Amino acid sequence: MPPTPPLAALHRFLASPSPPPLPSLLTLHALAVTSGLSPRPDFAAKLVSAYSSAGLPALAALAFAASPCPDAFLWNSLLRSRHRASDFASALSAHRRMRASGARPSRFTAPLVASAAAELGALPVGAAVHAYSVRFGLLEGDGSVAVASSLVYMYARCGSVRDAVRLFDEMPERDVVAWTAVISGCVCNGQCGEGLSYLVRMVRSAGDGGARPNSRTMESGLEACGVLGELSVGTCLHGFGVKAGVGHCPSVVSSLFSMYTKCDSTEDARILFPELPEKDLVSWTSLIGAYCRAGHAEKAVELFLGMEESGLQPDEVVISCLLAGLGNDAKVRGGKTFHAAIVRRNFGDSVLIGNALISMYAKCKQVDIAAMVFRMLHQRDTDSWSSMVVAYCKAGLDLKCLELYREMQFRDKDEFEYDTNSLISIISSCSRLGRLRLGQSAHCYSIKHLAGENSSVANALISMYGRCGNFDVARKIFGLVKTKDVVTWSALISSYSHLGHSKDALLLYDQMLTEGVKPNSATLVSVISSCANLAALEHGELIHSHVKDVGLEFMKNQLTQWQHSFFEQSEFRSSEDMCISFVSGIWSESMVNGLTEWGNEVVDSSEFRNKAQRVNMKLELDVINKILKLCPMARGTSHVEGRISYQSYEVEWVIIPKSPHAFGATYPQRSELVALVALHWSK
């Protein structure tokens, strides 16, 4: 007997692959209820799916409730409707009811529940899904790849990267979802290097017929390149994306732009900028910040003006980025002009911009203006105080640095916290002024609030305690530092040398060399001074060889220390290392190398000038010529050595051919030499 028309309509609805329009769906639902077919699981599942597609989860739940004994298929339909509506909490609630009813989960159930658990960060629920997937054999056979991929995604989203990687490595077959899940999971959880390694494996497997990266995979890989600063890898990914056909995808273009700006590849970012799907304030700020970090402040200002012409109003973030780019001596006038524009635009009360202004003026060595900005801030955060403390310390205004520190101590302790830079600045100022008690208070704060070992703070503390004469504490902190670099050794060596403990300084220097740590300029200055104090010529010659090995450029005071040690504490003798030394400003490496080649020759004025030209002593040549004219004894085979003081400058110079001869304060043309040196320093 042929079915009646209502039943025929219901059977057509059941067999249809797509849901009918909403009016027809409501009619069919009514027919199913009146005909008694609505409790059937297949009809109920079809109604739930249709209502879910129509965006009516309440009616989907009503259709589900009509079935007294829902099977796994009907439960999956309800889970899918909740998932489609992004109602993940209801999906997990339905899953609990499903498990309580005794219905057995299928390979369609596990991905839905794992995805909902991932979105909510419900790791225990996801782990339970993993457990019954193993027990029911859902990770084997057909559909196992989808189940495993959803679990990898769940573990990665919940921050359990180790479990995600372990499950991924156990998969015999991997689809693009699994690859993307493990790559994005590593990147999102800070393991960008591991994420890139998996992306490389994926690209290699794609050449053998494996899954190829999609746009989501490329986004994660480019994000990792930006975080790690791997410009070359990011450029390769750019080429691969273009070849794979996803290079022009809007999301990939945005990721490429972000990667290039983070890697400070300004030209590549500028080329991609017009291709961005939306040029919002974030993209403008990223490009401006990249130009600022690269030192192209003028181009950054041009971009800022272009952003304003496009109709976007700048916020405090982009202005602070631009101020950071203007923070150098050459741009101080531009920074002041921009400061005036900030005041006109009513950004004067912004703490973020105020902090950027303080940093800018501090970099420009305009500490007084930085202090004025600091005092004018209505609100000050931790960065405000830290920036000002660091500015005072770097400018050598140690008293003001410590005064600000005392002011910070008397304020509400919950208002701010010292960061590492401010602590180091405070301790350094205490070290230079010999303020042991204030340094001890900073030490106590670092113990209470800094988690783990901070080598920079430890180095500052070693120097502070050592220079204040408390070598026991300095040694104790030195012993607690697990990884001792050259700065750590130099801090203790310089402390001993500073207070005249030259023998201890040299013993520490020998111990440092035994540990395989190479000295730097600060280390060598301290030990050279110790050699001079002890008249330790042999030790000084060894240190001089270290100077040549390291290839350091020496400043005036460093070469002065070497001259004292080599010439004043011993009788001059033939040496292949140094015969002529002229100290007047900065010695370049080419000068030092050239001078060491002269040996023990007899040098007259003309030969001196010729050799000076050959070793590229252009900056000093004019001064040398004039000194040779003023000092007749410098021509021929004489030795000339002198110290010239003018205001806060002090210049020591030595010309040593063969026979020793001193040039002292009683020299009749000393005043002319002083004027000459003063003129040289003024230039």
Q: Kindly report the pTM of this predicted structure.
A: 0.61
Phi, psi of 654 (to 5 degrees): -140, 130
For residues 439 and 470, give the distance between their C-alpha atoms in angstroms, rounded to a whole number. 12
- Residue 582 DSSP label: E
pLDDT tens per residue across span 388-399: 999 999 888 989
- Residue whose token pair is 């597609």: 53
Q: Mean pLDDT across the stretch 489-518?
A: 83
Of residues 154 and 298, the one with the higher pLDDT is 154
For residues 537 and 552, give the distance between their C-alpha atoms in angstroms, rounded to a whole number. 21
pLDDT at 647: 35
pLDDT at 337: 63
Is-contact 279 308, C-beta < 8 A? no
- Is 80 exceeded by the pLDDT of residue 255? yes
For residues 23 and 659, give the distance between their C-alpha atoms in angstroms, rounded to a whole number. 115
130-139 long-range Cβ contacts below 8 angstroms, 24+ apart: 130/167, 132/105, 133/105, 136/104, 136/105, 138/105, 138/106, 138/107, 138/110
pLDDT at 117: 93
* Alpha helices in 330-454, H assignment, sequence order: 332-344, 351-363, 367-376, 382-394, 398-410, 420-433, 436-449
- Is 70 exceeded by the pLDDT of residue 249? yes
Helix, strand, coil shares of the chain, percent, nearest 5, are 70, 0, 30
- Is 50 exceeded by the pLDDT of residue 292? yes
Given strand 649-655, what is the order of strands in its sheet?
580-582, 649-655, 640-646
| Of the candidates 417, 282, 391, the residue with the CA atom closest to the CA atom of residue 327 | 391
| Of the candidates 140, 143, 100, 98, the residue with the CA atom closest to the CA atom of residue 116 | 98
Return the amino acid letter for 522: A
Helix 351-363 with 382-394: angle, nearest 10 deg = 10
Is-contact 389 425, C-beta < 8 A? yes
β-pair type (580-582, 649-655): antiparallel
- Is 90 exceeded by the pLDDT of residue 335? no
Q: Mean pLDDT across the stretch 116-144?
A: 90
3-class DSSP state for residue 587? Answer: coil
pLDDT at 582: 35
Tokens standing for residue 562: 């070497």
For residues 537 and 547, give the distance between their C-alpha atoms in angstroms, rounded to a whole number. 15
* Helices and strands of the chain, counted as H and E runs: 37, 3
For residues 340 and 460, give the distance between their C-alpha atoms in angstroms, rounded to a whole number. 38
Is-contact 293 329, C-beta < 8 A? no
Q: Is the dihedral of CA 514, 515, 518, 520 positive or negative?
A: negative
Of residues 449 and 179, the one with the higher pLDDT is 179
For residues 464 and 473, give the distance between their C-alpha atoms in angstroms, rounded to a whole number. 10
- Is 80 exceeded by the pLDDT of residue 606? no
First to last CA, the chain: 114
- Is 90 exceeded by the pLDDT of residue 343? no
pLDDT at 148: 92
Sorted by sequence, the CB contacts under 8 Å of residue 668 that are 6+ apart come out as none
For residues 601 and 84, give the distance between their C-alpha atoms in angstroms, rounded to a whole number. 90
Banded model confidence at residue 638, pLDDT cuts 50, 70, 90: very low
Q: Mean pLDDT across the stretch 207-232?
A: 88
Of residues 379 and 626, the one with the higher pLDDT is 379
> Any idea how long the chain is?
683
Q: Mean pLDDT across the stretch 623-644?
A: 42
Highest averaged pLDDT of the listed ranges 132-136, 529-533, 612-616 = 132-136
| Of the candidates 579, 572, 613, the residue with the CA atom closest to the CA atom of residue 599 | 579
pLDDT at 116: 93
- Tell me the chain's radius of gyration from C-alpha atoms: 37
Residue 458: which H helix or E strand, with range? helix 455-467
Q: Which of 299-303, 381-385, 570-574 has the lowest mean pLDDT?
A: 570-574
3-class DSSP state for residue 327? Answer: coil
Q: Which of 167-171, 478-482, 673-677 has the lowest mean pLDDT?
A: 673-677
Of residues 639 and 389, the one with the higher pLDDT is 389
Q: What is the mean pLDDT of the chain?
A: 74
Highest averaged pLDDT of the listed ranges 11-15, 314-318, 485-489, 578-582 = 485-489
